[in-house]
Each structure stands twice: as C-alpha cells, then as structure tokens.
Structure 1
Amino acid sequence: MVLRRPINMSLVDISKIFSMLQPKDEEEDDGERRELSQAVSNDDDKLLAELLSQERYRRFINSRSGWGIPGTPLRLAASRGHLRCLEVLLARDAEVDSLDVKAQTPLFTAVSGKHLDCVHALLQAGANPNGSIYNNCSPVLTAAREGDEDILRELLQFGAEVNARSKVPHWASNASACSGPLYLSSVYGHLDCFKLLLLYGADPNYNCTDEMLLARIKQPKTVLEMCLRHGCGVEYVQLLIDVGANVYLPTLIIEKTTKQNEAVELLLKERACPKTLMSQCRLAIRRYMRMANKMHSIDRLDIPPILRNYLNHMT
C-alpha cells in the first residue's frame, strides 16, 4: 500500500497535466490549429496570412497545440527561426509573451535556437527581455552560457537584467548566487560575452544584487575566485579589475597552472598598487550611470569620442 501510493499520485498528476493541455469545449476546432501550425512549420507566410484573415482561424492564434512541448504558433515560429511567419503573427496581434507548458516565452525559444532576427523582432514588438518570472532560467542566462554575443547585446539593449540569476530553491542558495551570467560566461570561456556584461553594468563581485540571498550564504564565491579556479586567464581578471571588482575579496588558492599563476600575479600587483585618479573617475561615472540605469546611453553623451571610448573601456 505504502509503495503504491506515490505511483498512483504520480499518475493522477500526469493526468491533470494532460487534461490541462486539452482544448476547452468552446475551443474545439475542425483542424484550424493543425493548419496554422503546418503553415508555420513550412514557413509559408502567405498561407498563414490568408488563414489569419479568416475569423475561424484567427481565434486560435494564441492556442497551444502540438506534441512534445505544446505551444502557440508564435512559439513555433520563434523556435524554428521562421521570421516571416513570426512577423505575420505579430502583425495579427499574437500574444508576444505567451507561455508554453515549461513557462518559456517565444523570445526564450528564439534565444535558445540562436535566431537573432527573431529575437530582434520579438523585442521590437514588446517582448519582455527577461522572459517569464515562472521560468527558472532567462534569455540572458541562456545567451551568456551559449556565448551568443550578438543576441546578448540585443537583450541588454532592450533593458534585460544584467545581474539575472536562476531561480533555484532557497536551500541551494550558494548555487543560485554563483549562476549569474558573468559566472556562466567565464566558466564556459566566452570572453566577449563576459566583457559585454561588464560594460552593461554587471556586478563584478558577485553578479548578484540580492543582499538577502548573499546574507544566507556563509562564503559566497566572487567572480574573481571563479575565474581563478577555472583558469580563465588574465583577460578575465584584468577586465574585472578595470571595472572596479574588489580585489581584496577573493581568497587566493594557488594551484600549479600557468594561466592561474599569471592571473594571481596580476591580482596581487593590483592589491599593491592603487588605481590612478583617471581610472577612479571612470569607475565613479560608470557607477552613476549604472545607478541611473543609463549604461546604454554612454555612446550618446555629448563628450569627445576619446572620452566615450575610455568610458567604454575601449582605450
């Protein structure tokens, strides 16, 4: 009896999930869903537009269908990278942030599929650059992990949270704090994404601005520590130093690897030599811009190009 109960409960739960995915009585169709999905699958934007000009098809534009991960036609277009169909659906007022059964938005699936043009179109149409609050991951985390610099830049330009972190349970707090986009881009060796995140104001110490979360962790690992542990090399450490990472925070654990030794030497040198006044001015200006949520506006400042380049760490 005791052994069978969890199995029965699981079957009940599965039945409930499948019942939720079935169309409601008032949504029963005569194949309209299938035809819409087929048009999107074939990237036939002309047929799709013709179908959606009819009310009997238009009422299913936001209906979920399909096997595997049932989703809307917009999700299907985004996941396949079918830009023309995606634009037709958006022009017919398809719900831009509709969720599939995994709480993923069309934008999230476009990012996962590396479809930059679809990502841009969805963001232009008002898609939330942070994805869904109900999903444990986010578009920024995915792009940082995969090393998609162009997609990551697109997300950040549309206001995505640069200190995004996965929504893991409270008991896994340490893993949660160490799973921001900076951590991921460094561990997976995506230097361009790492630099881009820092330029858009990612916190260089913990990549986490949740003070309550950090307070629950006995020894949170800084981004510098993670870079040293994973042998990321001097480029990562130099970038962190340049954007104002606290060089006194990490506990140094010396291992016999050339890359790490070079990075540690750089870190120790920075501890011994304070920053120049010019560097401190740059940090102060960038800190103010970040607090005002204006990091993306540096390129539009009415100052000489050489100063704009300096603020962007290009000189």
Structure 2
Amino acid sequence: MVLGQGATMSLMDISKIFSLLQPKQEDEDNEQCRALNNAVSSNDVTLLSELLSQESYRRFVNARSGWGVPVTPLRTAAALGHLKCLELLLEHGAEIDSLDVKAQTPLFTAVSGKHLDCVVALLKAGADPNGSQYNNCSPVLTAAREGDVDVLRELLEYGAEVDVKPKVPEWASSATACRGPLYISAVYGHLDCFKLLLLHGADPNYNCTDEKMLARIKQPKTVLEMCLRYGCGMEFIQLLMDFGADVYLPTLIIDKTTKQNEALALLLKERVCPKTLMSQARLAIRRYIPLTNKQPAIDSLDIPLLLRNYLKHDTCEII
C-alpha cells in the first residue's frame, strides 16, 4: 500500500512539472514571441535589439515558441552559441534558469553544444552551475562525458557539485550506480577531465563510502575497478592513488582476460608499499581545504610556491 502511494505521488509530481513547463497556447502562437526567437535563430543582434526596445515585444522575452519543443529566446541563443543575442536577452530580463519541457536550463544546452563563451556568460550572470533538479543529467556529467575540460573547469570554479549523482530510482541495479563524473570521464578516456575533477575534490572512492548506497548495493564498483575493466591506463590508476583512493577496496579477479597488466601491477605494488610521508601530508592538508574554491584556497596558503604547487599536483612526487 505504501509502495502504491509512493508511485502515485511520483506520477503526480511528474504531471505537475510538465504542466508547468508546457507553454500556453496563446504564447506559442504569438507573433511577437516568434519574431524574437527568429531574430535569435538568425543571430540578428540588430533586429533583436530593435524588437526588445519595444514593450510589446519585451514582455515576451520569457515566452516559449517553436515546433516540437517550444523554447525561450534565451534557450535558443544558448543552444546555438549566439553570445551577443544571449547577452542582450539577459540585459532585458530573460529568466536565466528557465526550463524547457525536458527540464533543461539554457546553461545545460550551452554545455551540450560546447559553447564555452555562452557558458561563461550564463555563469557570470548567476546561472545555477548544477542545472535543474528535475533533469536526470547535469552540466558537469555532460561536460565530463564529452571531455570538454574548459567547460568543466568553468562549472567547477562556479561551484558545481563535483560528485553529482545521476538521478536513478531506488531499485536501480549496481550498474546504474557507476555513473558519476569520475566514472564517465574514465570510461570515455578523458584524462584531463579526470584529473580536473580530482583536483576539485572528487571522491576517488565515490559510491563505496556512501552508507545509503552500501545498504542497497552490496559491492558497488569502485572507480579503480572501472579503470582496470575499461583499460584506462596507468595514468588513471596513478592519479587515483595519488588522490587517496583506497587500494584495498577493489575485489580483483586476476586471470588471463584481465586488462592493463601494467596498471594492475601498479595497483598491487601500492598495496604493499606505503605512501611517502610527503604524499600522506598532501592528502591530509587537501582534506581540510573546502571543496569549493579549493585551488584559490591553496594559493592563499602562507607557504612556499613549490609546496603550493605540490598540493595542486603541479610538480613531480620528489621535490
């Protein structure tokens, strides 16, 4: 009976969300609204400026129009990478985190389109770097999947959640748990994104220290296991170890089919050889630095530049 109630509430919530997102018929058919979107689509900044100077058009700045998925002019500008139009719309009161019927924000569409300049402009104007809570994906997950390290850096520097979890149902299998940004960047072989996530505080033991997750899934796959399984290479394994991954968590089944023997050997060596004192000190100091603005916080420390670089993994292991 409780299960039935939960399902009913879930369906009600979904219906409510989509009823809020659906554009009104009169907006969809409105000539002014279509004119704004057409000006943005053609990247005609002069025409857009002229239209927005008129109240009869300006009041439709947040209205949706178009076939298929009706969208606001700001969403169109973000999706197409039309920076000047996007900035002009923001100046005239465009709602920065407005949602389309897919629960995607303009920032999400700019990230998906790899439009770095639009991403930066939206973040500076106050866009939520995490996107919408109603969307199963997020800007960080998208950038990590695409290997867009510049976009990912901007999102993280503006406070995006580094260990964002994809929204999956409670009954999801262990396979669905392996979808965090670290997992995704490793599986797709994006080493720069992988390191950037770790530098901004991503948990190298993601999933395996979450009590709620462990209560539901007996043996969730560690990032180390996923890196070995997909043959990510020694660089990924070394980074995970440098950033404090628990090398005893993976359950290793070593046989003739095991990939990346060098990477596996590196992991097995780490299990019997303790870290250097300097490495241990670096891990301890980084744990006490807040996740947000971690890099600036390190730069502000009153220690020699060489040590600050060491904390940011900018130098070799021995200094």
SS at 1:171 equivalent = coil
Which TM-score applies when normalising by structure 1?
0.89
What is aligned with 1:139? 139
Q: In the alignment, does 2:303 pair up with 1:295? A: no
Structure 1 residues 97 and 19: CA distance shift in structure 2, 3 A: closer
Rounded Cα–Cα distance in structure 1 between residues aligned with 2:274 and 2:180: 28
Rounded Cα–Cα distance in structure 1 between residues aligned with 2:64 and 2:90: 16
Task: Judge conservation of contact 1:289–1:295 (CA < 8 Å) in 2.
Answer: yes
Structure 1 residues not aligned, in runs of 5+: 1-12
Q: How does 1:172-187 map to 2 (within 5 A)?
A: 172-187=172-187
What is aligned with 2:6? none
Shift in Å at residue 23 of structure 1? 2.4
Q: Deviations over 1:213-252 (max 9, x none)?
A: 3321111110000001111111000000000000000011
Task: Judge conservation of contact 1:79–1:110 (CA < 8 Å) in 2.
Answer: yes
Shift in Å at residue 255 of structure 1? 4.7
What is aligned with 1:149? 149
Code of the residue aligned with 2:229 in structure 1: it is: R
What is aligned with 1:224? 224
Rounded Cα–Cα distance in structure 2 between residues aligned with 1:20 and 1:314: 46
Which TM-score applies when normalising by structure 2?
0.88
Q: How does 1:245-260 map to 2 (within 5 A)?
A: 245-256=245-256, 260=260
Shift in Å at residue 259 of structure 1? 5.7
Shift in Å at residue 208 of structure 1? 7.4
Q: Deviations over 1:29-85 (max 9, x none)?
A: 651011101110111112111111111111111111111221110000000000000
Rounded Cα–Cα distance in structure 2 between residues aligned with 1:30 and 1:47: 18
Task: Judge conservation of contact 1:163–1:209 (CA < 8 Å) in 2.
Answer: no
Structure 1 residues 20 and 109: CA distance shift in structure 2, 3 A: closer
Task: Judge conservation of contact 1:173–1:213 (CA < 8 Å) in 2.
Answer: no
Q: In the alignment, does 2:52 pair up with 1:23? A: no
Structure 1 residues 20 and 225: CA distance shift in structure 2, 3 A: closer
Structure 1 residues 105 and 312: CA distance shift in structure 2, 3 A: same
Structure 1 residues 68 and 296: CA distance shift in structure 2, 3 A: farther
Task: Judge conservation of contact 2:163–2:181 (CA < 8 Å) in 1.
Answer: yes
Task: Judge conservation of contact 2:191–2:236 (CA < 8 Å) in 1.
Answer: yes
Code of the residue aligned with 1:23 in structure 2: it is: K
Q: Deviations over 1:277-303 (max 9, x none)?
A: 111110011111146x44132233332
Rounded Cα–Cα distance in structure 2 between residues aligned with 1:30 and 1:104: 23
Rounded Cα–Cα distance in structure 2 between residues aligned with 1:226 and 1:21: 40
Rounded Cα–Cα distance in structure 2 between residues aligned with 1:208 and 1:248: 12
Rounded Cα–Cα distance in structure 1 between residues aligned with 2:60 and 2:128: 22
What is aligned with 2:57? 57
What is aligned with 2:190? 190
Code of the residue aligned with 1:314 in structure 2: it is: D
Code of the residue aligned with 1:296 in structure 2: it is: Q
Moved more, 179-188 or 199-208: 199-208
Task: Judge conservation of contact 1:228–1:264 (CA < 8 Å) in 2.
Answer: yes
Structure 1 residues 200 and 19: CA distance shift in structure 2, 3 A: closer
Rounded Cα–Cα distance in structure 2 between residues aligned with 1:211 and 1:24: 47
What is aligned with 2:36? 36
What is aligned with 1:89? 89
Shift in Å at residue 170 of structure 1? 1.2
Code of the residue aligned with 2:33 in structure 1: it is: R
Q: Number of residues paired by the alignment? A: 300
Q: How does 1:260-271 map to 2 (within 5 A)?
A: 260-271=260-271
Task: Judge conservation of contact 1:177–1:208 (CA < 8 Å) in 2.
Answer: no
Moved more, 293-302 or 38-47: 293-302
Rounded Cα–Cα distance in structure 1 between residues aligned with 2:258 and 2:218: 30
Task: Judge conservation of contact 1:165–1:208 (CA < 8 Å) in 2.
Answer: no
